[in-house]
Amino acid sequence: MIHGCIDTFVTFIYTLVTLRLRSGSLTMQTVIHIKADKEVKENAAKAARDLGLSLSDVINASLRNFIRTRKIVFSDTPQMTPELEKLLDKVEEDIKHNRNLIGPFKTPEEMDKLLDSLK
């Protein structure tokens, strides 16, 4: 009976707080439960693993940055991706060789006429 109580107590303490020795000082860690889309979590965990990190490392770094800067940056500014760069390279090649281009138009009516012909 005592053995079962000790196991339950140890499990309870471990669940509440995990003590770790970090950089020569004792720090306490706690668990944060968040809701995330399954696909988002899986993709974030894979990206973290690719960098040799755990998802927990990434989240902790984000939280430390938030504490330090008191800022959270949300951006709707498109970022150049390798795929977008390849697409733009093709567009630039087309422009350079005068391919797949329509216009310029002298009047709005001229543009409308061409667009109507594409229907």
64 and 88 share a domain?
no
HSE value, Cβ hemisphere, 13 Å, CA-based, for 26: 3
The structural domain count of the chain equals 3
66 and 89 share a domain?
no
Which structural domain range is residue 88 located in? 82-117
92 and 108 share a domain?
yes
| pLDDT for residue 114 | 87
70 and 86 share a domain?
no
**Where residue 93 falls among pLDDT bands split at 50, 70, 90?**
very high
39 and 12 share a domain?
no
25 and 48 share a domain?
no
CB 26 within 8 A of CB 15: no
4 and 24 share a domain?
yes
For residues 70 and 20, the model is more confident at 70
Q: Dump pLDDT digits (tens) for 32-41.
A: 888 899 999 9
Indicate whether 68 pLDDT > 60.
yes
56 and 68 share a domain?
yes
51 and 66 share a domain?
yes
CB 2 within 8 A of CB 15: no
Alpha carbons 22 and 66: distance in angstroms, whole number: 21
51 and 70 share a domain?
yes
Looking at the whole model, is its pTM more than 0.85? no
86 and 108 share a domain?
yes
67 and 44 share a domain?
yes
